Structure 1
Amino acid sequence: MYSHRFNSEVHIARHASERMAARNISDDELIELIEAGTVKHKDAVRVWVAKHFVNRQDNLLWFAAVLEDKMVVKTVMHHFEWEEK
């Protein structure tokens, strides 16, 4: 998988792949999330990306990733809310 937005190869960690299957999140939804979701940086290499999908009833989908020589998607979740600072 490749992200044009992040100009990077995307690796989906086993844990993220398992969470996607458990939460019925498709590869197409993950790609849309990567390419069009709202990005928040935790630091220089860690990000959260979230997006609302109209056809889903489980609030925002989001993932946590590390951006180094490639994007590594660490986990994928649903029922997400941004923390207020």
Structure 2
Amino acid sequence: MYSERFGREVKITRHAMQRMRTRCITDLELALLIEEGQTRNKDEYRLWVAHRFEERLDNMLCAPVVLEEKFLIVKTVMHHFSWEG
């Protein structure tokens, strides 16, 4: 998968793939999340990307990601996510 938004190849960790299967998150949903989601930076290289899918009943999906020189690394994928504490 390639992210036009971030200009990098997307790498998905084994943990993130397991969470996607467990939470029934498709590759297409992950791609839309990455390309269209809201972002919040943790620091220069780490951020959260979150997106609400109207057809899903589990609130927003969120992917904590790491920006490396050539790759966007998806660390995990969460559901029932909220920006509020």
TM-score, length basis structure 1: 0.96
Look up the equivalent residue of 1:80 and give its one-letter code.
Answer: F
**C-alpha RMSD of the superposition:** 0.8
Look up the equivalent residue of 2:60 and give its one-letter code.
Answer: L
After TM superposition, the runs of 4+ consecutive aligned structure 1 residues lying more than 3 A away are none
C-alpha distance in structure 1 between counterparts of 2:20 and 2:84, whole Å? 22
How many pairs does the alignment contain? 84
Look up the equivalent residue of 1:43 and give its one-letter code.
Answer: D
- For 2:65, what is the secondary structure of its paired residue? strand
> Identity of paired residues, percent?
55
Look up the equivalent residue of 2:28 and give its one-letter code.
Answer: D
TM-score, length basis structure 2: 0.96
**How far off is 1:83 after superposition?**
3.6
Match of 2:73 in 1: 72
C-alpha distance in structure 2 between counterparts of 1:39 and 1:53, whole Å? 15
Query: Any gaps of 5 or more consecutive residues in structure 2?
Result: none
